[in-house]
Amino acid sequence: MMRIIKWIALLFLLAPGVSLAALCAPPFYSYSVTVATGGITVPRTAEPGTPISEVFGPFYTGNINGYQCNYVSQVYINLNTVLTPSSYSDVYETNVPGVGFKLFKSVGGSQYGVSPSPFITVDFPVCYTTGCYIDGVLPNLYMQFYATSNNVGQGVLSLPKPLAIIATHSNSDRNINIFRHLSISNTITITPEKGCSVTNPNQTVTLLDVKTSALKSNAGRYPGGKDFNIGLSCTPQTKVSMKFEGTTMTGRNDVLANQSTGTDSAGSSVGIQMMYGNNPVTLGQTFLVVNDAKETETLPFKAHYYYNGGDLQLQQGGDVAASATFSFTYQ
């Protein structure tokens, strides 16, 4: 009979330890924050591995004051979902191609990235004979978005909810108790900056020789011309307009003046006219070239001699030279 009493007493002594272990889970809170409420426009000049947004935060995750556990515990933070790592430290890919994000805490000016693997943030609480206590301020978190490739897509980000979790983790039984959630609550739209880059910005177009008698037979644009193209690499769906500028022939805003001088010049009665499709290019005037750009566009032009009907300086021939610059605007 005496043995039974001792066994019951021993069971009674163990029971508080079991119940106390179950208590090692601080009160649960869920935090929701908003970032980039106006969306993110990605500059065309953004290099892979560089930020495309400001740093958002700090995001408050609370603290733990004197929370009692009967075993030595760790508190850790990690991303809630296994994500695809980018080629850049602590930056994870999103559903929008070429866009990643980094979630991190900042200590002494250094960034410590949060990953899908546990990251210890409050290590080994203070332990007394009465038990162990988790006592510390949880880290404020920050977030920033990055370009992860040269080809950035367009769309709405789909981030895990919650994005990050904070939990206690027992060294003894590996028990996990999640007690904080951090979520991004708003919609974030990624929009690549509209624009194009020119793949062949500097060109020399050489026209074939033509007889002065052939020019003089018909005033106006000489039918034989020289094709040239301007290549573009564009953000898809960009609306592209273009403008040429240069010195014009007197009385003609669609003919480049002959800038060849000296005894070998053909004179001011001959110039160069550029055509886009069937239309002469008017110098100094903006015109639409692409309404809905693809990633690669080629703009076809043709250069012609133009004779205004005046006297040719050299009956036996001469030089004709002209130059123009061009620029683009985007919508």
Q: For 25-192, CATH number? A: 2.60.40.3310
Over residues 197-245, the pLDDT tens digits come to: 999 999 999 999 988 888 888 889 999 899 999 999 998 889 999 999 9
292 pLDDT more than 60: yes
- Average pLDDT of every residue of the chain: 84
Rg, C-alpha atoms of the chain:
36
Enumerate residues 6+ apart whose C-beta is below 8 A from 320.
Answer: 207, 258, 260, 265, 266, 270, 271, 272, 305
Other residues' Cβ atoms within 10 Å of the Cβ of residue 88: 15
Do domains 25-192 and 195-330 share one topology? The answer is: yes
Q: Which of 104-118, 169-183, 250-264 has the lowest mean pLDDT?
A: 169-183
- CB-CB contact of 190 with 153 (8 Å): yes
In single-letter form, the type of residue at position 283 comes to L
Q: How far apart are the first and last CA of the chain?
A: 93
Look up the CATH number of domain 195-330.
2.60.40.1090
In degrees, rounded to 5, the angle at the alpha carbon of residue 28 between the alpha carbons of residues 25 and 32 is 145
Domains of the chain: which residue ranges?
25-192, 195-330
CA–CA separation, 124 and 117 (whole Å): 18
CB 225 within 8 A of CB 301: no
Alpha helices in 202-307 (DSSP H): 212-217
Helix (H, G, I), strand (E, B) or coil at 20: helix
Is residue 20's pLDDT more than 70?
no
Question: How confident is the model at residue 119, as a pLDDT?
Answer: 64
Amino acid 72: pLDDT: 52
Confidence of residue 66 (pLDDT cuts 50, 70, 90): low
